[in-house]
Each structure stands twice: as C-alpha cells, then as structure tokens.
Amino acid sequence: MRNIILLFVLFVLFGSLQSVQAQNKPTKEETVAFIKQSFEKSFNWYCGRSSDGLKRSYKHYKIEFDKEKNILQMYWEYEISINMDNGEVIYQNRINIDLSKIESIKKSSLITVESKSNCDAQQIRITFNVAPGDYKIKTENAGGYGDDPWKTKMDNSATFPLWYGCKDGFDNEEVEKISKAFNHLRKLCGAPDPISFD
C-alpha cells in the first residue's frame, strides 16, 4: 500500500513539475516580441563597399504574426547603392509562412557572400522547411526599381537572411538565440515533429 501511495505522490509531483516548466516557457506573444526586438537592434547590416564600389545592405525588416492563424509574415529589402549620385536599387522580399505546417527550421553556417574593400561580407541564413503534404510556402519578390510587379513562388522551403556583415561583428550567441526563438515559436504553433533527425 505504501508503494502505491509513494508512486501516486511521485506521479503528482512529476506532473506539477512539468506544468511549472511549461508555464515558464515564453508564450507566442513573448517569442514574437523577442524576434522583432532582435531584428530592430541590427536591421541595417552591411560592412563598407565592395571592391567594385557597390554597397549592399539588408534593411527595413518587418515581422508580423497572426497568433490565431499561426501565420508569420516577414518583409525585408535588399539594397544596392552604386554611389551617392546614382542612388540605390532596391529589391523587396516577402514570405508568408503557416508555422503549424513547418517541419524544421535550420540555421546555416557562416557563408562568405562577397568580398569588400575592408572585409569579406558574410551571411547566416535561416531556412523554413514544410512537412510532407500539399502546403507550400508563399514567397514574393519585387525587382529593383519599384515599378516592377511582385512575383510569387510557392515552394517546400523558404530562406530568410538572419545576419549579414563583417565576420568581426558577428555575434554567434545572438544569432543562436534568434534561431532557437523561431524553433520555439514553431512548436508553440503545433508544428509536426521532423520525420528525420539528420
């Protein structure tokens, strides 16, 4: 009888501990707020001009989240500045993702994307991959001069620039936190566990 009572007490304590742990994890709202705040701190990333005289930057990040429908929308601009007289060429990008359909979110390693006059520009990307099925991620792009129409693509994955700049300014801890926040938000939306753990 004592063993049964002891098992019951342990079961109740274990359940209570799990409940407390769940309550201590960030909510959808808190997670989205953290992601937005992280991008606001470093939304305009570039590091000088390339040897060809061009300055490239990612800017005007905008992240919106519909917590009822689990839809994450991300917008950003990729700007190429030739020089102060000739102005800029701006490419607009927009991704709409139903996070409840995302099987995995993976962060790339540090990629060298172009050589600058003062350093090699490097980038970290994050890729959203959908679970098997009919759902596709909607990606939209508008080309360089503002008058070009938006082009839409539906695909099994979508890539988002997570960080861009000189390696000396790379903050691995901050990038890792943002990556974990996206994955936490995915789980809060009831997304499926990955079939493969590669």
Quote the pLDDT of residue 39. 78
Are 45 and 165 contacting, i.e. CB atoms less than 8 angstroms apart?
yes
pLDDT the model gives residue 114: 65
pLDDT at residue 53, rounded to an integer: 62
Q: Identify whether the C-beta of residue 175 lies closer than 8 Å to the C-beta of residue 161.
A: no
- Ranges in the chain, pLDDT < 70: 1-23, 41-56, 82-88, 113-120, 144-148, 167-170, 195-198
Strand partners, 59: 77
Which sequence spans correspond to the domains of the chain? 26-188
What is the H or E stretch that residue 96 is in? strand 87-98
DSSP-derived pairing of the beta strands 87-98 and 71-83 = antiparallel
How would you label 170-196 residue by residue, b for 16+ Cβ within 10 Å and e otherwise? eeeeebeebbebbbbbbebbebeeeee
